[in-house]
Every structure is written in C-alpha cells, then in structure tokens.
Amino acid sequence: MIRSAEIGRSTKETDISIKLNLDGTGEAKLEYPIGFMAHMLNTFARHSLIDLEIRASGDLEVDQHHLVEDTGIVLGQCFAKALGDKRGIRRSGSCLFPMDETLARAAVDISGRPFLVFNAGLSGIPLVSAAQGKDACSFQIDTLEDFWQGFTNSAAVALHIDILRGRSDHHKAEALFKAAARAIREAVETDPRYPDFVPSTKGTLA
C-alpha cells in the first residue's frame, strides 16, 4: 500500500497545496516563492525519501512568517494523513548529521503527542542572497522554528532538534533539515518484524 496524501489549505494570508508520498524516492516538485525555504524543502525530500509536490503563495508583502509557518502546518497534516493508524511503523528515529563545521542532532517519536524542542542557535539575522536588482531576496531565518512548530503540531509528533556546534546559519539550517529528514525517514519505515501492529502498549498512536 502506498502511503500518500494531498491537502490544500487556503486562508486570507496563504494558499498552499501539498501532495506527499512517504514511500517515494525523494523527488521534489516545488512552486515556492522563497528561495532558501525551497532549498530546505528540497533537502528534506531528498534525505527523507519522501516525494513532495508543493504549490504555495502568500502575503510576502507583510513578511515570510505566515507562508513558512503554514507550510509546516500543511506538511504535518499531509504527514499524519498518509500515516493513517501508524500500523507497522518503527515509530521513532534519530540522526546525527555533520555539515562541515556544523553538527546537527534530531530525534522524533511519532507518538500522537505534539512537542517540539528547537535549539538551533540561529542568529536571527536574515540570510541575504547575492542576486541583484529585482532578483535580490533575503530569508527570515527565525521562521524555521515556526515551520517546525507547525509541522509537529499538525503531525502530532515529538521532535527534538539541536545544533551541537556550528558557525554558519546556512549550514545550521541545512544540517537540521537533513537530520530531521533522516530521523523521520527511519521512524516511518515499516518494521518487518511487526508489520501489522501499532507500536504502542496502548494499541493506538492517535
């Protein structure tokens, strides 16, 4: 059975459509107006082996917060829908991911209880591209915590993300997306020893 889902969410601030396949190959098809965030979503797909199709627009004339946070919300909704009753999954996963001077750690439990610990040590200073004129852009790096908060709430998972060391905000952000993707990839994999059981003494992960 292919575990996939598609969800659209439209508000006065954002319009987002996401299609997700947990059993994919890491392919990403993105129509996303924030370049750095598109880079992070593509990185997430590649390292989680989750196929993603995302079309998104929002009130960027206000700032990037609404669109980034709402993307996390819709991605989490898709994730939960694709998992269904979570039967047969490993449930938890973790990863240490080095990226040059940066070392990221992520651990996830698909528990049905949302909780986020986010210790990324980001500066809060926007990342600015080298493009000129109308192509110039920046990314509000502080919105990454809002993205992961939206994801954990909607997906109903416990997610701990830590940057253990690092200098570059770009490297910290990318390493944490890679670590989270690898941890989630492990957690959603089917356990061949218990393919028909929900991995909880309660009998449910709802």
Mean pLDDT for 128-139 is 67
Give the span between the Cα atoms of 187 and 25, in whole angstroms. Answer: 16
pLDDT tens by residue, 136-175: 578 999 999 999 999 999 999 999 999 999 999 999 999 9
Give the span between the Cα atoms of 71 and 192, in whole angstroms. Answer: 32
Catalogue the E-assigned strands of the chain: 4-10, 14-21, 28-31, 51-58, 92-99, 102-109, 115-119, 127-128, 138-139, 158-165
28 has a pLDDT exceeding 70: yes
> Where do the structural domains in the chain lie, given as residue ranges?
4-188
Q: For the structural domain made of 4-188, what CATH number should be given?
A: 3.30.230.40
pLDDT tens by residue, 178-199: 999 999 999 999 988 887 777 7
pTM over 0.85: yes
| % of the chain with per-residue pLDDT over 70 | 95
pLDDT tens by residue, 45-72: 999 999 999 999 999 999 999 999 999 9
